Amino acid sequence: MTTKQCLMELKKLAATTRENIYRRVELAATVLGDLDWIAIEHGGDDLKAHDAVQNEFFPDLDGYVSLGKLIDTYRNFPRPKWEEYRFNVAAVVAAYDEQRAPGEERAPTTRTAWKQVAEERTEELARSKAKLAVMEDLSSRQAAEVSALRDENARLRGEVERLRGRVEELERIVHRDQVAA
């Protein structure tokens, strides 16, 4: 391989490497946003997931800048700015830090105990299922009671009609006896 060919390949690799860092950070942000993957692969521990991604896919940074810092920069510093600094990580991070207002601290992140949340939701689901079973039982009992009351109502209406007929018959007899007397 000639020197010229080596230099051409070096230039090509340097260009793709710089742009490649942005895509790697973009993919890492997407992966670390997948809570199902974190739950399955890392037992819900987002710090373990974060460290695993950093160790496996960003060994070249070797602690120079954390993956968390890169993801924060990616989310808050648009791609054109990255391009402006030719994807130079040090320059991008420095420019991002500089653009933040003086004295502005990074918003503290709140950690979520996903296992605890899952346990609470599971307990809540069990309580809801128990309440639903009670309500379904009550509903079926009430439906049976309503059906029995309708049957009783129909029977009583028939009885009322029969008694009305008897009353009318008695009134005719009484009326006939009064006319005859």
Contact 32, 38 (CB under 8 A): yes
Report the amino acid identity of residue 148: A
Q: What is the pLDDT of residue 181?
A: 72
Supply 98's token pair. 């500089």
pTM across the whole model: 0.51
Report the amino acid identity of residue 65: V
Q: What is the pLDDT of residue 107?
A: 55
Q: What is the pLDDT of residue 110?
A: 66
**Overall size of the chain counted in residues:** 181
Buried b (16+ CB within 10 A) or exposed e, 21-60: bbebbeebbebbeeeeebbeebebbbeebbebbbeeebee
Contact 86, 17 (CB under 8 A): no
CB atoms within 10 A of CB 67: 21
Q: What is the pLDDT of residue 76?
A: 87
Contact 20, 54 (CB under 8 A): no
Question: What is the gyration radius of the CA atoms in the chain, in angstroms?
Answer: 40
pLDDT truncated to tens, each residue of the chain (181 aa)? 788 887 788 777 776 776 788 888 888 888 888 888 888 888 888 888 888 888 888 887 777 788 888 888 888 888 888 888 888 888 888 888 888 756 555 555 567 778 888 889 999 999 999 999 999 999 999 999 999 999 999 999 999 999 998 998 888 888 888 888 7
Cα gap 135→114, rounded to integer Å: 31
Cα gap 21→60, rounded to integer Å: 10
Buried b (16+ CB within 10 A) or exposed e, 123-142: eeeeeeeeeeeeeeeeeeee
Q: What is the pLDDT of residue 171?
A: 87
Supply 22's token pair. 């942005």
